[in-house]
Amino acid sequence: GGFYSSTGQSHGSGGRHSSSLWDDPVIVAARIPVDRIELGELLSRGGFGEVYRGRYRDQNVAVKTLLPSTRKDMNHIEAFLAEIKLMATMEHPQIVQFIGVAWESLSELYALSEFMEGGDLRSLLVTYYESGHPRGFDPVKVKMALQTAHALTYLHSLDPVVLHRDLKSRNILLTETLDTKITDFGASRERSDKTMTAGVGTSFWMAPEVVMGERYGEKADVFSFGVVLSELDTHELPYSHAKENSETGRPLPDTAVLQLVLMGRLQVSFSGVGLVEMTQLAQQCLQIEPENRPTAAEVLYRLHTISKEYPSSYSL
């Protein structure tokens, strides 16, 4: 059950419970020699991993690896391998393309995916905010919403169903022409009607049932998508209006914000500018009760209809 490095020595650190993944044909088939990868600058760092710009076979790639602090932790290694395996099985134009996986040893795992030249949606929206870009939904924003809905519909159509579980503007990446692809399947799980695993912090994109630790399914992703629509519209982070304008004059703590959301007393904001249909769709996605939200496929259908209703000069 030990793990064999390229030099053929056995590394016992893997323990028996990880060997199934090493023997996994998906992981083995996706293997790339470490010495073929050039690592460049650090692009982002999260709770468990970091992402570098890299080069492989004369193309730019994104290289994800565990943080030094989590590299020796078997639970994190297992979770990372599960994420890699999930990414390797996905094939969709609106999901960041997986390229391969490299390792020298169990504690040095690298997952390669396509490099997205346009950065992430959050950064674009910050630029929009700072440059006074008009709020509301223009054709480009509708296209970004439509493409993101395509990706969600694909995930939810898989068998077994895959839930993203962490959809937000930071996890929506852009090409140079502002086409969107979703990424970061670190929290994703095949659906099994489970509650959220520990270790995934609460966030303002989370559906109420997830925050409450209740059973949840695909509709949790639809709620998160509704929050993303608010970001696309206003360029602001969710609930930023509420955080700043509490009665005390001090910013509300995150837990207090979530409490108000759960009680139905607070929602993400919309500008009211432009397409009323987009705001209506978002409001449906943001319903407190999951059964009142549309499915991803229904959202996609609505977005197709809305984008067709544009003047033809705005063709997407």
Q: Which residues are catalytic?
A: 166
Quick one: which H or E segment has residue 11? strand 10-11
Enumerate the β-bridge partners of residue 112: 63, 100
Determine the Cα–Cα distance for residues 12 and 130; give it in Å rounded to an integer: 52
Largest Cα span, the chain: 65
Nearest to 112 by CA among 104, 121, 101: 101
CA dihedral 148, 226, 192, 254 (to 10 degrees): 120
Retrieve residue 10's tokens: 């056995």
DSSP string, 122-170: HHHHHHHHHHTPPPS--HHHHHHHHHHHHHHHHHHHSSS-EE----SGG
